[in-house]
Amino acid sequence: MKKNRFVLTALAIGFIGIGGLFVSGQQAGSLREIQIHMSVGAIGQEGLKFPAARPDYYQVTIMRQRSTRGTLPRERHPELSEDHLVVMAVDGRGDEIFRTIVPDPRLLRAETADPSGQLTNVLFYRVNIDFWITLPNDPDLEKVMIFQPQWTGTAFNLVPVGEARLR
């Protein structure tokens, strides 16, 4: 009986060890975390901090980059929306290496009540914003391009918002 418990315990520890190695192996990838700053020079200089209309183009600056270990989360059913941004990383030839969809960090929602108490949703856009994205730590990555999905009534068009070099 003691021998059987020992064997079962040894097997359990072995499976846990193998499982631990498997998980560690999955997370052993190298990632690059990038802090992006987006700003609209003309609107920001006028002192308008939250325009109600979405600015057409932002100046994009890479503020910081750092390497880390881990894996990128899998997007099971990525869906485009006008409330998201599409971030695309390309190599020196302009070939897409990586793409992700992130909630639009520029977007501010406000609800106001009219005199009758009816709530109205109002959207504002920040003119200066910092946010982080995570990319594969691929030495071929040359540039990050940011797009705003725009619904045409039948499909989404990706409208360029800005871009920045990673090197």
Are the CB atoms for 60 and 163 separated by under 8 Å? yes
CATH topology of domain 29-165: Immunoglobulin-like (2.60.40)
- The structure's pTM equals 0.71
Paired with 22 in beta bridges are none
pLDDT digits (tens, 9 = 90+) for 72-115: 888 788 889 999 999 999 999 999 999 999 999 988 888 888 88
- Does residue 28 carry a pLDDT above 70? no
61 Cβ partners below 8 Å, 6+ apart? 36, 37, 38, 39, 164
User: Would you list the domain boundaries of the chain?
Assistant: 29-165
At CA 32, angle to CA 30 and CA 35, rounded to 5?
160
As a whole number, mean pLDDT of residues 36-50 equals: 65
Alpha carbon distances (Å) from 60 to 22, 33, 90, 110, 166 = 38, 16, 15, 26, 11
- Count of other CB atoms within 10 angstroms of residue 125: 19
pLDDT digits (tens, 9 = 90+) for 110-157: 888 888 989 988 888 888 899 999 999 999 999 999 999 999 999 999
**What pLDDT sits at residue 15?**
40
How far apart are the C-alpha atoms of 149 and 88, rounded to whole Å? 13
Of 85, 30, 32, nearest to 60 by C-alpha is: 85
- Does residue 43 carry a pLDDT above 50? no
